[in-house]
Amino acid sequence: MADKYTDFVSRGWGRDLAKRLGLPQPVALRRYEPGAPLVAGPVLLVGAGAGADALETALKGWDVEVLRDPGVAPAAGGTHDAGASPSSSAPPAAPAGAGRSGAKLGGIVLALDTVARPEDLSGPILAAGRALRSLGPSARVVTVSRRSSTADEPALAAARAGVDGILRSLAKELHSGATGNGILLAEGVEADAPSALGALRFLLSGRSAFVDGQFLTVGTAKGELPADPEKPLAGKVAVVTGAARGIGAAIARTLARDGAKVVVVDVPAAGDSLAKVANEVRGTALQLDITKPEAGERILEHALARHGALDILVHNAGITRDKLLANMDPARWDSVIAVNIAAQLRINEALLGSGRLGDGFRLVSVASTSGIAGNRGQTNYAASKAGVIGMVRSTAARLAASGGSANAVAPGFIETEMTARIPFATREVARRLNSLQQGGLPLDVAEAIAFLASDAAGGISGNVLRVCGQNLVGQ
């Protein structure tokens, strides 16, 4: 699974050659380490108003050095005034450059929640643009804006939707492992609502290393920030299917690291590896084929009998049986549908209908970029993964009353045994087709799932979060 190309262009004559030929030069991404600072330098906060002020307070509460720029457009032909707000410790906004320590910027946060017309975007966006050259490696750009809706006046809808185009383009202009992502607030949800801050923390941190060019929508003011940000899942019981290896094993390790008690589920044939994962995470193993009619009851019984609760369910188990549709046979089609979506629906039915889940149940399901953009040879797989997206949206509505949530994570190219089997040339191209020019790690998918499974994400439901390094396929 080694990415030999990245090794080659990272040092010596390989690096010089890549530079001369203009070849992709992927960098090692900043990933979460317990105890490490949230961001790798000061954060420039662009924008004015109550939302921006609330974000400043939150950032400072997380020990982040904050520089302020109100984001006022310079008069045409004139020079830009420093424009720092009274509370600011900021140097002139252009270039926003370094903080007190002289360090490169760790990130830029744009408070765009008050934009009302497309013309309002120029001040803050151009202010952010002036600071881009001061960003350090693996820096973060995060927009905080309002979700546009059909109820908005056309100019308001245009301004809000404009943020989408800006962010997705800007993310493609960043380099050295830096990413750009956005938070969309529903009407009435404040910039410092628990899940807005939870999402901001996630997007600034190394936990979101391979999330790029994406938006998280905060639909409600529900949710709660954890008492201990290093153990956001303390006291929770989580079940992860397909956890004997690959992404599932990484999810189990990450949920356990974050404080959850984890039940790992996989087919009896994978029993040995499953037991190893269970031991490693100090959880319990349940050997179970999830397509069995009684799978839901078995999962519920195990979780309640061994751990006294079931708070989080991660549907990760999945298979591929690729064939062009012209050559597709019923066995390939049916098995993919059975494992990847029909089993999930049946298990959900058993769990949600049992009356034995507590409030605030969190469901996270693994979809795929193939389910969004389609993929040659994968009509069956894409049907199942697009089905997962439909399922979480519908289930989100059903869980809303009890404070529960349902979300999907859609991985792009992830370095696993599955993708290691792709022929060399195809694999090499697939790996580079994203803004970060590399494949993601199972850990990157696991981090996104751990966030969506936490109470900090309680106001986020019915979302599909891509973990794909801003893969060129699909939206």
Catalytic residue IDs: 381
Based on the shown chain and the rule CB under 6 A, indicate whether residue 263 belongs to the binding site for ligand NAD.
Answer: no
Q: Give the binding range for ligand NAD (CB under 6 A) out of 49-57, 58-66, 137-145, 246-254.
A: 246-254
With respect to ligand NAD, which residue has the nearer C-beta, 157 or 418? 418
User: Does the footprint of ligand NAD cover residue 290 (CB under 6 A)?
Assistant: yes
79's CB contacts (< 8 A; 6+ apart) are none
Binding status of residue 247 toward ligand NAD by CB under 6 A: yes
Closest by CA to 67, choosing from 12, 116, 135, is 135
Q: Does 278 bind ligand NAD (CB under 6 A)?
A: no
Instruction: Give the pair of three-digit tokens for residue 188.
Output: 């009435």
Tell me the closest approach of the beta carbon of residue 119 to ligand NAD, in angstroms: 40
Does position 266 interact with ligand NAD (CB under 6 A)? The reply is: yes
Stretch that binds ligand NAD, among 33-41, 59-67, 244-252, 306-314 (CB under 6 A): 244-252
277 contacts ligand NAD (rule: CB under 6 A): no
| Chain residues 23-62 in contact with ligand NAD, contact rule CB under 6 A | none
- 244 binds ligand NAD per the rule CB under 6 A: yes
Residues 329-388 that bind ligand NAD (CB under 6 A): 339, 366, 368
Q: Does 110 bind ligand NAD (CB under 6 A)?
A: no
Residue from 29, 44, 111, 414 touching ligand NAD (CB under 6 A): that is: 414
Q: What is the closest distance, in whole angstroms, from the C-beta atom of residue 242 to ligand NAD in the complex?
A: 3
Part of the chain binding ligand NAD (CB under 6 A), chosen from 4-12, 73-81, 129-137, 287-295: 287-295
Q: Which stretch binds ligand NAD (CB under 6 A): 192-200, 224-232, 266-274, 451-459?
A: 266-274
Minimum CB separation from ligand NAD for residue 279, in Å?
16
**Cβ closer to ligand NAD: 156 or 317?**
317
130 vs 385, beta carbon nearer ligand NAD = 385
* Binding stretches for ligand NAD (CB under 6 A): 241-242, 244-248, 266-267, 270, 289-291, 316-319, 339, 366, 368, 411, 413-414, 416-419
